[in-house]
Structure 1
Amino acid sequence: MNDQIARLGASLIQHGPSNDRVYLMHLAPGETETVIPAIEALAEKHGYSKLFVKVPDAAKEKFTEAGYRIEAHIPGMYGGTEDGWFLARYPDPSRADAGEAKTAISDVLTAAKKTAATPTTCPLPDGYEIAEATPDDAPALAALYREVFATYPFPVHDPAYLRDTMDDDVRYFLIKNGDTVVAASSAEVDHAGQNAEMTDFATHPAARGRGFCPVLLQTMEEEMRRAGICTVYTIARAAFYPITITFARAGYRFGGTLINNTQICGAFESMNVWYRSLGE
């Protein structure tokens, strides 16, 4: 069962048993004082083991006073001027321990830093093309996500969900070989905050190793610049080399680690935050 997206006032949250958490995705202006007790009550009601929030600098102090700890930081996330913060509180302290994954997370981060800002050029092979997805592409896009991810924190396996998000400032990009979608990604655009999350990267197992992720990322960055976006970031699997190296090579900076944050393919994984100013 997928976690649900809901409103608390004008703020946007995701919560449910799949990720076993409450995630404050968007804090509406003026709602800090009411959102904190609301998400605390929701977590207590359902017994969630983590509360995770993404907030602008103006709200950070209220969350730290409420017992939240900083896990990641993006300078100039909002409008290119106000910093963004990712904070967490763990009702179940065991979830705050990355456990055996600590070594892998450290190894991947070390490798990423060695390749930092060394972009590679990977032109598309003959017969492949890249384009922004339309609602008509939703079934093929969902099929790709089903092939790549056994489980995922959002219901990207469902064409109806993908169509709905296309109407809600999520832009999907596809690489096709003829009529077959072989790779995809998305940009979740916050026009008011002038930032975008680069996410949902997937390549069909039969098409891996051809440099599709860097091509998708470069294309999305170009589109985000045209859309007036100042800062782009990703929340990437901390122990997964390919996507981490892609962002490090593209000039993204490490912002911090979100411990046991996201359920992917049946297990909790820690995620690293990487960010870049498009004005650089």
Structure 2
Amino acid sequence: MIKVQEEHCHAVVDYDLINKRIRVLDYEGKAAALADILIKTGKERGMEKIIIFAKTYDQKDLLQKLFLQEGEIDGYYNGYRALLMTYYLDQTRKTTNSWERQDHLLQTILNQSKKPIRDHGFSFQIREAKAEDSEMLTDLYKKVFPIYPAPITDRAYIEKTITGGSVYYTCFSGDTLISAAAAEINTKLGHAEITDCATLTEFAGHSILTRLIIELEKKVKQMGIFHVFSLARAESIGMNKTLCRQSYSYGGRLINNCVIFNGLENMNIWQKKLFD
């Protein structure tokens, strides 16, 4: 992350070279001025897409800069909504052939009843991860994800995220790590992202990630965080179903958002308030 400080705006910016995108995760000042800077910088650096987590009152100004809204996250800015406004520096990045099929998958998931998980027969052990678990976590992620938008197969990276405030919950079968999920916490903005969710294929069908997400939600609530969101591969029936059944609401779809699993993929946005 880089802090950009210009005359009319300050921003926290992720120049993501792996995914050829620029993400603005927080900002103050004139969004239109920020957009001009990002478009110029993005062209110079060979980026393909810009994503601004925009404040609702900046939508009109960004539309005038030809940004499009691809989604929204309730509570992102200390209880206030963020609009995910995007701009394509490479128009081919805007093209997707899977939208209609993914709409069909999503509609099927949204139409399904929310079944409670069953405790009967669950024989695995769940606990919060520690920094010394980083090697096991990287080994798990290597087995599950051929490619991923963040360096989660790097032990040093995992250690840094844990010591830096992210929370991981893990699930074991005996001494074998079989599943993990994380909450990336932003105390300044009052939200957490549920991310880095993985389960070994042979242990699918036990609602393990559902249980891990429940534990993460409990943890972040204890820390005073009451808004969470998650991005799920639009092609992943299991992950989208898990979030939907846990009362996350659909918030849109980011086109060709990042390189994950097999290549550039669309990502569904899910969001949840951790209070009634």
TM-score, length of structure 1 as denominator length: 0.89
Q: Secondary structure, in 3 states, of the residue corresponding to 1:157? A: coil
2:252 to 253, 256, 266: 256
Q: Deviations over 1:240-274 (max 9, x none)?
A: 10000011111111111111111112411101111
1:22 aligns with 2:22: yes
Shift of 1:205: 1.9
Q: For the structure 1 residues 111 and 192, does the alpha-carbon distance in structure 2 shift closer, same or farther, using more than 3 Å as the test?
A: same
Q: For the structure 1 residues 16 and 274, does the alpha-carbon distance in structure 2 shift closer, same or farther, using more than 3 Å as the test?
A: closer
Number of residue pairs matched by the alignment: 272
The residue identity in structure 1 corresponding to 2:89 is P
Mapping 1:8-157, distance limit 5 Å? 8-9=4-5, 11-24=11-24, 26-30=25-29, 32=31, 35-80=34-79, 82-99=80-97, 101-115=98-112, 118-123=114-119, 125=121, 127-157=123-153
Deviates more, 1:225-234 or 1:71-80: 71-80
Deviates more, 1:62-71 or 1:150-159: 62-71
Identity of aligned residues (%): 25
Q: Tell me, yes or no, if the aligned pair for 1:124 and 1:212 is still in contact at 8 Å.
A: no
Shift of 1:201: 0.6
Q: For the structure 1 residues 126 and 120, does the alpha-carbon distance in structure 2 shift closer, same or farther, using more than 3 Å as the test?
A: closer
Shift of 1:124: 8.0
Provide the rounded CA distance (Å) in 2 between the counterparts of 1:126 and 1:216: 13
Shift of 1:33: 5.9
What residue is the counterpart of 2:155 in the other structure?
A: 159
Shift of 1:95: 1.5
What residue is the counterpart of 1:180 in the other structure?
A: 176
Cα RMSD of the aligned pairs, angstroms, is: 2.0
Shift of 1:58: 4.3
Unaligned runs of 5+ in 2: none
Q: For the structure 1 residues 34 and 125, does the alpha-carbon distance in structure 2 shift closer, same or farther, using more than 3 Å as the test?
A: farther
Q: Deviations over 1:131-155 (max 9, x none)?
A: 1111000000011011111111100
Q: Deviations over 1:125-175 (max 9, x none)?
A: 554211111100000001101111111110000010011112333111111
The residue identity in structure 2 corresponding to 1:56 is K
Unaligned runs of 5+ in 1: none
Provide the rounded CA distance (Å) in 1 between the counterparts of 2:123 and 2:184: 28
Q: Deviations over 1:178-227 (max 9, x none)?
A: 32210001111111222111111100122222211111111111112211
